[in-house]
């Protein structure tokens, strides 16, 4: 069933978040702070490993070769300009604050939990590749594996950041569900190179989320989200131009 992976993922976030809220009641503030730092470090490591995996490949001579550096830089710059124009980060914050006023007045970390969890769950390689496989072949394996990871992390996120984490299931549904539904239309341009470049940019953004969680540097990751899809747009335009020329 196409779309099953996303539905399982949404359920995992909601169930994990609900369990985290139960744990939160008995968790002292000093534990929450330390756990948040540990999560930030873990997210940074995931981002670094994904970025290195996307950039480097091993040649037949056993040496490391770099790939997609120029494309990554171009994607980040163009995507950030577009995201800044659309004010995606501000809109995410506004949505988080709207949910807070509607469901959890007085909870100080609600919007932060919503935005942080939404970005962590949406920008990674597993979200992109898993949604594409679900839409193209009806294979939910990657998203089911992602669901397990997201469910566990949702417990920890909700225990430290509160109810906003549960509502991050909404962006997960819209984002992954949208990619899944569009996968069939985009199939002609979804080469391995395009998917690899999208995953690489997603890993770089995960690294930025980790820095945000540790409060080392504030990156507007929401405004950088369009960067993930720049390789896809480039491939579409390139194919269109070459078809006209030929």
105-125 pLDDT tens trace: 667 788 889 999 999 999 888
Report pTM: 0.87
pLDDT at residue 106 in the model: 65
Q: Does the pLDDT of residue 97 top 90, yes or no?
A: no
Neighbours of 140 (CB within 10 A): 24
pLDDT at residue 145 in the model: 92
51-95 confidence digits (pLDDT tens):
998 898 877 777 778 888 999 999 999 999 999 999 999 999 898
pLDDT at residue 222 in the model: 93
Q: Domain limits of the chain?
A: 4-245
203-231 confidence digits (pLDDT tens):
999 999 999 988 888 899 999 999 999 99
Residues whose CB is less than 8 angstroms from the CB of residue 208 and which lie 6 or more positions away in sequence, other chains included: 47, 219, 221, 224
Q: Is the dihedral of CA 165, 171, 173, 177 positive or negative?
A: negative
* Confidence bin at 174 (pLDDT 50/70/90): very high
41-63 confidence digits (pLDDT tens):
988 998 999 899 889 887 777 77
pLDDT at residue 223 in the model: 94
d(CA 238, CA 214): 40
User: Span 174-202, mean pLDDT?
Assistant: 90
pLDDT at residue 23 in the model: 86
Burial of 160 (0-12, 13-18, 19+ CB in 10 A): buried
User: Span 187-198, mean pLDDT?
Assistant: 89
> Under DSSP, is residue 56 helix (H, G, I), strand (E, B) or coil?
strand
Mean of all residue pLDDT scores within the chain: 89
Strand pairing category for 56-58 and 64-66: antiparallel
């Amino acid at each position: 069933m196409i779309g099953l992976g996303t539905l399982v993922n949404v359920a995992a976030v909601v169930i994990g978040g609900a369990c985290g809220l139960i744990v939160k009641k008995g968790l002292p503030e000093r534990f929450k702070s330390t756990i948040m730092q540990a999560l930030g470090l873990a997210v940074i490591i995931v981002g670094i490993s994904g970025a290195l995996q996307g950039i480097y490949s091993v040649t037949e001579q056993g040496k490391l070769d770099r790939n997609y550096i120029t494309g990554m830089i171009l994607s980040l710059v163009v995507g950030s300009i577009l995201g800044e124009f659309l004010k995606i980060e501000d809109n995410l914050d506004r949505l988080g604050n709207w949910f807070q006023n509607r469901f959890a007045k007085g909870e100080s970390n609600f919007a932060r939990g919503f935005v942080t969890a939404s970005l962590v769950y949406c920008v990674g390689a597993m979200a992109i590749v898993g949604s594409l496989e679900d839409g193209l072949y009806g294979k939910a394996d990657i998203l089911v594996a992602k669901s397990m990871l997201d469910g566990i992390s949702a417990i920890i996120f909700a225990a430290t950041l509160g109810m906003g984490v549960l509502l991050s299931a909404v962006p997960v549904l819209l984002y992954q569900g949208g990619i899944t539904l569009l996968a069939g239309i985009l199939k002609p341009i979804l080469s391995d190179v395009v998917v690899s470049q999208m995953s690489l940019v997603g890993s770089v953004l995960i690294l930025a989320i980790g820095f945000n969680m540790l409060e080392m540097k504030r990156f507007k990751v929401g405004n950088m989200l369009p960067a993930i899809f720049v390789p896809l747009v480039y491939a579409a335009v390139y194919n269109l131009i070459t078809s006209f020329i030929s």
